[in-house]
Structure 1
């Protein structure tokens, strides 16, 4: 697992409630795993956007930003830019399998609610969105 290098990002994760933090760490690992599988993605930049851990393809510009956060309803969510088709295409492909918030996020109550194979497709789509 890639360690969190930015203390501000670590502080953001530390501020998550324990169940949300566990889910966020699962999603974070999937993000880094997907990036490592495709050399076109290149290295990821882990930073904060809107106070949330965010993942950018700053070197290659191959993808759109993904963010991890705690929605008002609780749990954890993976967010993509709402002007992209990342979430809407995921929702079409996997209708009614996850808690999708419009065209901006997929929510998970716990880490056990994350289907790694399914969410990896969303992550791969986001990280290669501009290719």
Structure 2
């Protein structure tokens, strides 16, 4: 983690900091498990952003006591996530997964959503982005 991004994480309120760090770790874990190559970590709109060569960027951030995974709003990502995981995850429009920072992270569906985002340009033409119900 570069110093600029580390400073961003260090300035987050404690209530969300550990969950956002866990989301960052999940992004790197999924990229490694899927052999997606290097993860580019940068700042976009003042928030940590992550992408792979065939992926669509994922930003992590917070509002109040909720943690967010933000996705490109003109992609099919969030609409697909909603179809697959509406019983488990909460969404904001067509751009974000909203996670309560005080509740346990629903790791399996979040990892699957991260995988679809990090492989988006390979799967965007497949039904449900290649995921199965």
Alignment deviations for residues 85-124 of structure 1 (CA, whole Å, 9 cap, x no partner): 1111111111142221011111112164321111001000
Question: What's the secondary structure of 1:107's corresponding residue?
Answer: strand
Question: What's the secondary structure of 1:130's corresponding residue?
Answer: helix
Say if 1:111 and 1:87 are closer, same or farther in 2 by CA, change over 3 A.
farther
The normalised TM-score by structure 1 is 0.87
Provide structure 1 residue ranges, at least 5 long, that are not aligned to the other structure.
none
1:109 paired residue number? 100
Q: How many residue pairs get matched? A: 122
Pick from 86, 99, 109 the counterpart of residue 118 of structure 1.
109
Q: Relative contact order: is structure 1 or structure 2 higher (C-alpha 8 Å, sep ≥ 6)? A: 1
Q: Is the 8 A contact 2:65 2:101 kept in 1?
A: no
Provide structure 2 residue ranges, at least 5 long, that are not aligned to the other structure.
123-133
- How far, CA to CA, are the matches of 1:75 and 1:92 in structure 2? 22
- How far, CA to CA, are the matches of 1:67 and 1:98 in structure 2? 17
Pick from 34, 48, 57 the counterpart of residue 53 of structure 1.
48
The normalised TM-score by structure 2 is 0.86
Q: What is the RMSD of the two structures over their aligned residues, measured on CA atoms?
A: 1.3
Q: Is the 8 A contact 2:15 2:65 kept in 1?
A: no
- How far, CA to CA, are the matches of 2:37 and 2:75 in structure 1? 20
